[in-house]
Amino acid sequence: MAMKTPARAGAVTLMAALGTTALLAQTVIKLPKNKYTPEQDVKLGLEAAAEVRKQYPVIKDEKIASYLTTLGDRLVAVAPTELKQSVYQYSFTPVNLKEINAFALPGGPMFVNRGMFDAAASEGEVVGVMAHELSHVLLRHGTANMTKAQNPWLQLGQIAGAVGGAVVGGEAGSAIAQGSQFGLGTILLRYSRDFEKQADLLGAQMMARAGYDPRALAHMFETIAAESKGSGGTPQWLNSHPDPGNRTAYITKEAEALTIASAADTSQFQPIKTTFKAMPPGKSTADVERAHAANGAGGGGEAPASVGHPGQPVPRPSAQFRDISGGKVFQASVPDNWTSLASKSSIKVVPQNGYGELNGTTVWSHGVEFGVTRPSSRDLHEATKAWLQGIAQGNPELRLGGEQQSVRISQRSALATPLVNPSPLGGKEHIMVYTTFLSDGTLFYYLTVAPEKDAAAFEDVFRKIVDSIRLTEVR
Ligand SMILES: [Zn+2]
């Protein structure tokens, strides 16, 4: 970075001696590449927000709702003019969910969980998270994610699909994906570490202009991280907002380069906390999703179920196998200590503690899935590619884990595709996807998943299962 020669050397020496950081400039944040229009952001965001309001327990309390809007309006008022599109329709909606979380949709709708208020030590902490969310809106990160997702197969990892959330570890966003016209809730709300850092920095800048110390944002992130230590898993917030690392350090540094405007009036914060205390406790996201699925409004027809507690040790697969069958489509043998979970078009078979609720979301860490899907092509490579792109939409960090290979399943030509994805338990997970055509042209798949640390221990059982598959449809 080039520095101008100071006019008065004496003053600079004094400033240096005091360790002042007045010479630092605030970080310039740029809009990422985006092939959508701001109008499309607004349309998409409004449609998704309508779904969210149907499915999530929105808090109707007038005092709380208007308080949240006051905070949001303060931030919008100080947002950089060049980023404020006139078409945006900002809204700030409190939700009675207990997880420390918040999210914003393209074009302006923002939802803040009650858990965020309960966990916040000051108004600045709530405002900090809202400023971070508003930054995602202003920088159009949701549709920037979609722009990235249009890349071809070799950049599979950049792509985002509706199938994915259900197939490779569900997440909170899937409730939004369901029913949304684009089925893209997951991609809209899963940001890269780079986008996260940009949202932190722009958020810090807006906080300072609105009269809050940006370091409150860093403190809120520490609270969220501490929540994960307490529960031993990943907090819901981090599912969509991955930690770029050194958050406290760079937010503090940015704060030092900023001038905080005259302090905002925070006198409403404590009374609002008291109002919350008088309300019944917040629900967990998992409870809400379960209730929604029970009402038959779910997308995949898959009722959330738990097989033990993800994160707890997974017992070794039994050497004894039992037969399962999927309608008229297939038969296979699976370890007899694993549990089958069937939905309309797929069957998961999972070991104890391999599938269930973890920190309010449904995750799948270990096991196999058999399923059928309508192919987009009669060419196996093409059909597999298209289906994997669908999976990748719900798993933006999914990567190829090696060479795709030609194999045989039940004496038919099949493809085996190794993939690597972040495990819901932390670290990486290994995924292997086998695909082949049924005689009617339907694409059949067999998918295995295990965390990297357990991959070797499960390799054998996964192979025994694939060798046992018999495709049984009538020819
Ligand atoms: Zn974020």
Q: pLDDT-derived band of residue 409, with 50, 70 and 90 as boundaries?
A: very high
| Amino acid in the structure at residue 63 | K
More confident residue, 197 or 143: 197
CA of 427 to the centre of ligand 1 (A): 20
Instruction: Give the mean pLDDT of 73-93.
Output: 97
Lowest mean pLDDT among 67-71, 80-84, 400-404, 441-445: 441-445
Cα of 396 from ligand 1 centre, angstroms: 15
| Weakest-pLDDT range from 51-60, 145-154, 413-422 | 145-154
How close is the Cα of 133 to the center of ligand 1, in Å? 6
Confidence bin at 229 (pLDDT 50/70/90):
low
Collect residues with CB below 5 Å from ion ligand 1.
Answer: 191, 196, 199, 241
Query: Cα(222) to centroid of ligand 1, in Å?
Result: 15
In total, the chain counts a number of residues equal to 475
pLDDT of residue 417: 94
Res 343: pLDDT: 65
Angle at the Cα of 239 from the Cα atoms of 235 and 241, rounded to 5 degrees: 100
pLDDT band, very low/low/confident/very high, at 292 (cuts 50, 70, 90): low
Q: What pLDDT, on a 0 to 100 scale, did the predictor assign at position 424?
A: 86
- DSSP structure class, residue 252: H
Look at residues 112, 440, 114 and name the one whose alpha carbon lies nearest to residue 280. 114
Cα-to-centroid distance, 137 and ligand 1 (Å): 10
- Mean pLDDT confidence for 179-188: 41
Expressed in angstroms and rounded, the spacing between residue 103 Cα and the centre of ligand 1 is 8
How far apart are the CA of 365 and the centre of ligand 1, in A?
24
CA-nearest of 335, 333, 344, 435 to 382 is: 435
The pLDDT, as a whole number, for residue 232 is 53
User: What is the spatial distance between Cα 50 and Cα 133, in angstroms, rounded to a whole number?
Assistant: 18
Q: Pick the residue with more confidence: 398 or 4?
A: 398
- Phi then psi for 437, rounded to 5 degrees? -90, 140
List, for residues 190-220, the tens digit of each pLDDT value: 788 999 999 999 999 999 999 999 999 999 9
Q: Does 412 score more than 60 pLDDT?
A: yes
Taking the centre of ligand 1 as the mean of its atom positions, its distance from the CA of residue 374, in whole angstroms, is 34
Q: Is 259 exposed, middle or buried (0-12, 13-18, 19+ CB in 10 A)?
A: exposed
Average confidence (pLDDT) over 232-248: 80
What average pLDDT is seen over the chain? 80
Confidence band (pLDDT; 50, 70, 90) for 234?
Answer: low
Report, as an integer, the average pLDDT of 52-79. 93
User: Residue 280: what residue type?
Assistant: P
- Is the CB of residue 393 less than 8 Å from the CB of residue 189? no
**The token pair that represents 414 in the structure block:** 């099949």
225 CA to centre of ligand 1 in angstroms? 14
pLDDT of residue 438: 84
pLDDT over 50 (residue 296) = no
Q: How far is the CA of 52 from the centre of ligand 1 (A)?
A: 18
Residue 132 CA to ligand 1 center (angstroms) comes to: 6
pLDDT-above-90 percentage for the chain: 47
Residue whose token pair is 């067999």? 446
At 264, is the secondary structure helix, strand, or coil? coil
Distance of CA 382 to the CA centre of its chain: 27
Distance of CA 427 to the CA centre of its chain: 16
Q: How far is the CA of 191 from the centre of ligand 1 (A)?
A: 6
Highest average pLDDT, of 12-16, 78-82, 339-343, comes from 78-82
What is the CA(172)–ligand 1 centre distance, in A?
15
47 has pLDDT over 90: no
Non-local (6+) Cβ contacts of 30 within 8 A are none
pLDDT of 58 strictly over 70: yes
Mean pLDDT to the nearest integer, 308-320: 90
Q: Is 474 exposed, middle or buried (0-12, 13-18, 19+ CB in 10 A)?
A: exposed
